[in-house]
Amino acid sequence: MAGVAGSPALAEQGNNLPPNVPEWMKAPGDPMGSQPYGAPSVHEKGVVKNISKTLPQYISASGRTPLQELDGIITPNGLFYERHHGGVPTIDPAEHRLMLHGMVDRPLVFTMADIRRFPSQSRIHFLECSGNPVYTKPYGKTASDLVGLLSCAEWTGVPLKTVLDEAGLQPGAKWVVAEGADAAALTRSIPIEKCLDDAMLVYSQNGERLRPQQGYPLRLLLPGFEGNMNVKWLRRLKVTAEPAYSREETSKYTDPMPDGTSREFTFYMEAKSIITRPSGGQKLTTHGFHEITGIAWSGHGKIKSVEISLDEGKSWQQAELQEPVLTRALTRFRLPWHWDGTPAVIQSRAIDETGYTQPTLAELVKVRGLNSFYHNNAIWPWRIDANGEVTNAQA
């Protein structure tokens, strides 16, 4: 972002600036083949996943996408957020099988070659962890700290309905229990309506095969549903009459309320947005024009509009939405802004096609209290001080 870049004084010391001829024009560059699989510029090596250095352990853990460093709506595969519950398995696709059984006419086993023979589809969808972020302090400093358990990709695979039809659903089939081939054998139950709607078995992400961290060689994709249900390293689908009530859908990924009850089977990720530039940890180095930009998304469909406030939420104006605006995908928004140097609090709120409007943190906490970890879709305001420093206005 112009005006947020490094020190201009340093750059002016370089001999590569006009009128001089830059050094990289005076000799040939790296030969073809020096990078059989390309990597970002060495000058971008700071753009990596945001992984806490103080986790108690790293087998069941998460790593965040550096949202404030990215443009557009597609997350590069190497920066896609990660959450795993038993480490990342190394699976030989030749020895990976998907078993489909339970309340079906024909229990089946598929190889990866089998799965890829089915008619394929490619669709762009976001994935988001349900705990993104928690409701309690300390709140994060950056957009990634707050909602970096969020990414978006073009996924390729086969509609789950196609594969279920191949086995033949029996009357009374109401749920599909999905199980991963990781050391957690992670298990979640998916309502049959979702399985027959837009659920997919995916093997590719942004054009290449899934990364191991994303479930290589096969994962479930449930657009708009909380991340952990999109079971990675998928090895088994069991069609049932009722949920498995697995540990991950009873003792975890349930939402404790102030009265001591907990909500179960809270599938959908509700409408949400965040300004990624300018955002926490960045600095506006000049007065004048700055583009405000960010991302919005909803598990319930398309983003209808995004509103931005520049005055601590007193007034709101429409942001421009970048096409394409896709269902259950990130939508990029923008608003031109002239910063005159006075301190400001800026924030965005998303409205989705159901008419639902992203709430404030106070509104969420009033209903849900502070005991819940999950489904916090609060508006997150940024404070810009007179020096241009951007910080979390809720902290």
Partner 1 sequence: MPRRNLKAAFVVGAVAMLAAAAQADDRYGIGRPATPAEIAGWNIDIGRDGSNLPPGSGSVERGRTVFAEQCAACHGDNGQGGVGDRLVGGQGTLASPKPIRTVGSYWPYAPTLFDYIRRAMPQNAPQSLSNEDVYAVSAYILSLNGVVPANAVLDARSLAAVRMPNRDGFVSDPRPDVHNH
User: Considering beta carbons, is residue 320 or 363 the nearer one to partner 1?
Assistant: 363
The minimum distance between CB 350 and partner 1, in angstroms, equals 12
The minimum distance between CB 278 and partner 1, in angstroms, equals 24
Supply 272's token pair: 């949400």
User: What is the distance between the terminal CA atoms of the chain, rounded to a whole angstrom?
Assistant: 25
The values of phi and psi at residue 263, to 5°, are: -80, 135
Question: What Cα–Cα distance (Å) separates residue 119 from each residue in 112, 168, 257?
Answer: 14, 17, 44
Give the HSE-up count for residue 347: Cα atoms under 13 Å, Cβ half-sphere: 23
The values of phi and psi at residue 187, to 5°, are: -130, 125
The minimum distance between CB 109 and partner 1, in angstroms, equals 5
User: Considering beta carbons, is residue 23 or 363 the nearer one to partner 1?
Assistant: 363
Contacts to partner 1 by CB under 8 A: 56-57, 59-60, 85-86, 99-101, 106-110, 114, 117-118, 162, 165-167, 177, 179, 183-187, 235-236, 238, 242, 244-247, 250-251, 254, 256-268, 270, 349, 356-360, 363-364, 366-368, 370-371, 375
Pairing state between β 121-128 and 344-352: unpaired
User: Considering beta carbons, is residue 20 or 54 the nearer one to partner 1?
Assistant: 54
Q: Quick check: 170 and 104 in contact, CB under 8 A?
A: yes
User: Considering beta carbons, is residue 16 or 261 the nearer one to partner 1?
Assistant: 261
The minimum distance between CB 183 and partner 1, in angstroms, equals 5
The minimum distance between CB 370 and partner 1, in angstroms, equals 7
User: Considering beta carbons, is residue 206 or 376 the nearer one to partner 1?
Assistant: 376
User: Considering beta carbons, is residue 74 or 108 the nearer one to partner 1?
Assistant: 108
Question: ∠ at Cα 57 (55, 59), nearest 5°?
Answer: 125
The minimum distance between CB 18 and partner 1, in angstroms, equals 52
Residue 193: partners with Cβ closer than 8 Å, 6 or more residues away: none
The number of beta carbons lying within 10 Å of the beta carbon of residue 259 is 8
